[in-house]
Each structure stands twice: as structure tokens, then as C-alpha cells.
């Protein structure tokens, strides 16, 4: 858990570069003010996502689930990334909070319908990313819901079909799934030949 927490903090900080740099210009008053708003909104969306996910997990599971809180912060960051410059501070917090809310339910739902996603990547990036895209027209009058949906669909269809072709080829030539036995033993030994924590006592 300390590594997961540190990883989240690293991503949180790195995201200032990710979104702030995407303004592409800093050298005048309007651009630098815009970069400052992007920093502010990126930070506050992550905070909103974290608090929302923590509260939902407290209500839903009865405990403050740290993994959900961390995923909530990342969800807030993902949600604001589609449009970090036009929302007000409060809107950015709410966009992040809705992201944090969605990610908890999405992770639970994917578990329920038995879709295997050990780190919640589909929920954090896919589902919340879609929410972020759809939230753009709420604060940016230059975007429309239909435009956002069309864009998301086009991207999904292209990436899904192109990736499917590559995965299909890989599956026929090399195979993609590790053996059941390797999976049980963990892929550290079978693929890399070493353990991450060799001195830990293994109860199995």
C-alpha cells in the first residue's frame, strides 16, 4: 500500500506537467493565466475525486477503502484532463468528484460481471475518461455533446478493431495468455526469473 500511495502522489504531481504543458504556451499574460487555471483545476479535481471515492466506499463497504480513495484521485485527474482550462474551481471539483463516484461503482460492476481488471484500468481510464469527454460541453461552449460522443465512438471503433487485429495475430503466432500454472505461481519466476520480495515468508 505505501507503493500504491506513493505512485498516486507521483501521478498527481506529474499530471501538472501533463495538463499544464498541454496549454503549449506560457510567455504572455493570457496564456500563463490559463496555465495557472489548469494547475488549479487539475489539483482540485483530483481532490474532489479522492474525497468522493472515500465517502462512497465508507457508505458502501462500511470502511474507508484506501485503494478506492487512490483510484478516486486518479479518476478525478482523468475526468478533468479532457478540459482542464475552462471550468471554474468549483466545477472542476465536481467533475472530479463525479469521476471518483463513477470509478467505485464501475470497479464493483466489472467485478460482478466477471471482467478481469486487476488494477481497475478500464474503470479509471475508460469509463471515467468517457465521463471527462462528455463533461467538456458543460463548461466549454465550443464543444457539443454529439461531437464528443461521435469522437469517442470513432476512437473506440478504430482502436478496438486495429488492436483486435494485432491481438489476434499475436494469439495465433506467439499466444498471449500465460499458462494456468504460471499464473498461479506468478509470472515473476516464469518470465523474469526473480522475485520482488525474496526475503518475505511465503505462506503457500
Grid cell locating 81? 484532463
User: Which of 18, 178 has the CB closer to another protein?
Assistant: 18
Minimum distance, C-beta of residue 18 to another protein, in the bound complex (Å): 12
Name the H helices within the chain: 2-21, 29-61, 66-81, 89-112, 121, 128-139, 145-173, 180-185, 187
User: Which of 86, 106 has the CB closer to another protein?
Assistant: 86
Minimum distance, C-beta of residue 13 to another protein, in the bound complex (Å): 5
User: Which of 5, 117 has the CB closer to another protein?
Assistant: 5
DSSP 8-state symbol, 64: -
User: Which of 40, 152 has the CB closer to another protein?
Assistant: 40
Minimum distance, C-beta of residue 64 to another protein, in the bound complex (Å): 6
d(CA 175, CA 182): 14
Q: What angle do CA 160, 164, 166 make, to 5 degrees?
A: 125
Minimum distance, C-beta of residue 156 to another protein, in the bound complex (Å): 31
Q: Which of 44, 31, 34, 99 is nearest to 71 (CA)?
A: 99
User: Which of 71, 130 has the CB closer to another protein?
Assistant: 71
Binding site for another protein (CB under 8 A): 1-2, 5-6, 8-10, 12-13, 16, 20, 26-33, 35-37, 39-40, 43-44, 46-48, 50-51, 54, 58, 64, 66, 69-70, 73, 88-90, 93
Residue found under cell 495465433: 172
Amino acid at each position: 500500500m505505501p507503493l500504491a500511495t506513493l505512485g498516486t502522489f507521483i501521478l498527481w504531481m506529474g499530471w501538472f506537467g501533463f495538463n499544464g504543458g498541454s496549454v503549449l504556451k506560457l510567455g504572455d499574460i493570457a496564456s500563463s493565466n490559463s496555465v495557472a487555471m489548469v494547475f488549479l483545476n487539475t489539483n482540485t479535481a483530483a481532490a474532489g475525486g479522492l474525497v468522493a471515492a472515500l465517502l462512497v466506499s465508507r457508505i458502501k463497504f462500511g470502511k474507508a477503502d484506501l485503494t478506492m480513495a487512490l483510484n478516486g484521485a486518479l479518476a478525478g485527474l482523468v475526468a478533468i484532463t479532457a478540459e482542464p482550462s475552462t471550468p471554474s474551481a468549483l466545477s472542476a471539483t465536481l467533475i472530479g468528484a463525479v469521476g471518483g463516484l463513477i470509478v467505485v461503482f464501475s470497479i464493483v460492476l466489472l467485478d460482478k460481471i466477471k471482467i478481469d481488471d486487476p488494477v481497475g484500468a478500464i474503470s479509471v481510464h475508460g469509463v471515467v475518461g468517457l465521463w471527462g469527454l462528455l463533461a467538456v460541453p458543460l463548461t466549454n461552449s465550443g464543444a457539443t455533446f454529439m461531437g464528443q460522443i461521435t469522437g469517442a465512438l470513432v476512437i473506440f471503433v478504430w482502436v478496438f478493431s486495429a488492436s483486435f487485429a494485432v491481438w489476434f495475430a499475436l494469439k495465433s503466432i506467439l499466444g498471449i495468455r500465460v499458462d494456468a500454472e504460471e499464473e498461479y505461481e506468478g509470472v515473476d519466476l516464469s518470465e523474469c526469473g526473480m522475485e520482488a520480495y525474496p526475503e518475505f515468508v511465503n505462506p503457500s
